[in-house]
Amino acid sequence: MLKVSSSPCPFKISPIRMDQRHKIVAGEKEAQMRINRIIGEVALVLCACSLFAQKSKDEESVWKLEHAYWEDVKTDDFGSYLALWHENSVAWPAWGAKPMRKNHITDWLGAYTLKRFI
């Protein structure tokens, strides 16, 4: 059986005085102002990021070449694929044992094309 103590509550609970209530309300207003300031700062940063996120002309031209590269691979267009490479370019493909010049740059593309049709 539970024994109920007749002693008063160990915690003091006192009503909020008017001057304390004013401090609480003022604190809430300050907190809301801080939140609004943070939201404004975040919005400003996001707007600034969107301005700098626009691609430059050079970046657009590089991406255009990259897309052309993979379109030529998908369509097995060896001539257009070779035209993307500089005459003196040297590449070391992941599957190659040594670096290769432009005249061997399409070797992997030919092997890839054969595998698709076999």
pLDDT at site 118:
57
Asked if residue 10 belongs to a domain, the reply is no
| Shared-domain flag, residues 65 and 85 | yes
| Shared-domain flag, residues 68 and 99 | yes
Going by the DSSP 8-state scheme, the letter that residue 88 receives in this structure is T
Q: Which range among 15-19, 41-45, 84-88 shows the weakest confidence by mean pLDDT?
A: 15-19
**pLDDT higher than 90, residue 110:** no
- Over residues 56-62, the mean pLDDT reads 86
**pLDDT higher than 70, residue 25:** no
| Shared-domain flag, residues 34 and 78 | no
- Over residues 5-15, the mean pLDDT reads 57
* C-alpha–C-alpha distance, residues 76 and 94, integer Å: 20
| Shared-domain flag, residues 20 and 49 | yes
Asked if residue 83 belongs to a domain, the reply is yes
- Band of pLDDT at residue 8, cut at 50, 70 and 90: low
Asked if residue 28 belongs to a domain, the reply is yes
Asked if residue 44 belongs to a domain, the reply is yes
Nearest C-alpha neighbor of 107 from the set 69, 68, 81, 70: 81
Half-sphere exposure of 54 (CA within 13 A, CB side): 5
Asked if residue 91 belongs to a domain, the reply is yes
| Shared-domain flag, residues 62 and 108 | yes
- Over residues 36-45, the mean pLDDT reads 88
33-57 core/surface letters (b: 16 or more CB in 10 A; e: else): eeeeeeeeeeeeeeeeeeeeeeeee
Range(s) of the domain holding residue 84? 57-117
pLDDT at site 91:
85
Asked if residue 7 belongs to a domain, the reply is no
- Band of pLDDT at residue 4, cut at 50, 70 and 90: low
Percent of the chain with pLDDT over 90: 3
